[in-house]
Structure 1
């Protein structure tokens, strides 16, 4: 963003706190990116100016900025300055769709449908959906983007005839939203989360380098009758995406 734009941001630094000033500044910059006060493409201005405005040393400001560069939230561009790249999406582990979560976070999701066809179920897909191997299933592959940048590659299988899945609807809405509109009540899911390195094909789809860290998720969703209605295998860019857990202490 321009100098006049970041001048309006309110950075409250506590010099009596045991938390280092660079960390306080980094936290507040990250919060501003997360809530959209600093949008993708915004420029922070130069370190000298920011240090002078906040009454901080230049090394302190440099350390704060570097910590966000390391997180993938900022990037230093020659001839341009320090620029906001994006905010990382933090998704709660609950039965919700990525589209709905991104929309709720103000991330302006868009979708590219790469595959949308009927095919016969493999043994893996049939087992997940409680079907016979060779039964017809609807297979959809989509690339989910925010602010024009890819976040996740989604591969989903749905029992044939369950609901209409034409490409225009899949491009403008999330799968679970379409299910709810069709009268399907989602009740529960079985899900596993993991991590691995990106293949050449995945790196190309997700605008990453080969071997970049990816988060993975496999999920089978069930309706309120116990019927399996969707099986999905998804990969997410770890630089732009995180799963968020809430842990409760069992007494």
Structure 2
């Protein structure tokens, strides 16, 4: 009778990670950690790399690689010098609903930190994409997106100064821009969106507080008001380990 190598009569008892042909050893460690995570709660600390390497009888680099993948998948997150269990991903609807509404639906508190707010003449590329007039004055507002004070994204908004001339004076950067537009009597009509995956640039990673080259979800949106006039162009960058997007389809 054929026996697996570690179960043959006389084989030594092994408590670590067995060899599985060509399956990388870190993958088996990752599976063990997945099971460990299931028994822990959000924010609970993971044992140290040293303890895990001794428990699974593998090199610390093997444990480190398994943890690295679980961080990228959003199941773990770095905290100080350790690693803790991450919370569930935020589900953001693909609709005209604002970021604020989407985060609140998850029972989280939305927030934003202003990076920059300035104005400049609309370049040809932005005019062609949005329907704005080339050379007309445009606001550019960049904000870090927060959920329960955790940095989760970066948003850049472009809107004609003529639509909201007192944006710099009347708008609270920590609040919903869509709510502000509604207060100004501006109603949304429709929008076009495009989604792609990208890697965070060094600057984006610094602003969002993530490792460089972290996979991100990038959404480009060009919206119009209820009368079909150009309204805004938004570039929203979301952490791939903290967000998933949902939509409802009907036949």
TM over 0.5: yes
- Give the whole-Å Cα distance in 2 for the aligned partners of 1:157 and 1:203: 22
Q: Tell me by how many angstroms 1:68 deviates.
A: 6.8
Larger-gyration structure (1/2)? 2
Describe the superposition over 1:135-175 as per-residue Cα deviations: whole angstroms up to 9, x where unpaired: 11111111111222211111111111212323773333111
Deviation at 1:240, TM superposition (A): 0.9
Which residue number in structure 1 is paired with residue 144 of structure 2? 143
- Alignment-derived partner of residue 108 in structure 2: 107
CA distance in 2, matches of 1:101, 1:218: 17
Aligned counterpart, 1:214: 216
Q: Deviations over 1:21-75 (max 9, x none)?
A: x99997797xxxxxxxx65xx43798xxxxxxxxxxxx9xxxxxx8976632335
Helix, strand or coil at the partner of 1:115: strand
Check conservation: 1:114, 1:141, Cα contact below 8 A: yes
Which residue of 1 is the match for residue 155 of structure 2?
154
Q: Which runs of 5+ in 2 are unaligned?
A: 1-32, 48-55, 57-66
Q: 1:243 to 1:77 in 2, by over 3 A?
A: closer
The 8 Å contact of residues 113 and 167 in structure 1, kept in 2 or not, is answered as: no
Equivalent position of 1:224 in the other structure: 226
Change (3 A) 1:213 1:76: closer
Alignment of structure 1 residues 167-246 onto 2, 5 Å? 169-246=171-248
- Structure 1, unaligned runs of 5 or more: 1-21, 30-37, 47-58, 60-65
CA distance in 1, matches of 2:37, 2:190: 38
Q: Is the 8 A contact 2:114 2:174 kept in 1?
A: no
Q: How many residues matched?
A: 205
Residues 119, 180 of structure 1: alpha-carbon distance in 2 compared, 3 angstrom cutoff = same
Counterparts in 2 of 1:77 and 1:223: CA distance versus 1, 3 Å: closer
| Superposed CA RMSD | 3.4
> Counterpart in 2 of 1:83?
84
Partners of 1:144 and 1:130 in 2: CA distance:
27
SS in 2 for 1:134: coil
SS of the residue corresponding to residue 125 of structure 2 reads helix
Instruction: Say if 1:192 and 1:217, in contact at 8 Å, map to a contact too.
Output: yes
d(CA) in 2 for partners of 1:73 and 1:96?
27
TM-score by length of 1: 0.68
Per-residue CA deviation, residues 67-89 of structure 1 (Å, 9 max, x unaligned), is 97663233587997x73433311
- Give, in angstroms, the shift of residue 201 of structure 1: 1.0
Contact 2:138 2:159 in 1 (8 A): yes
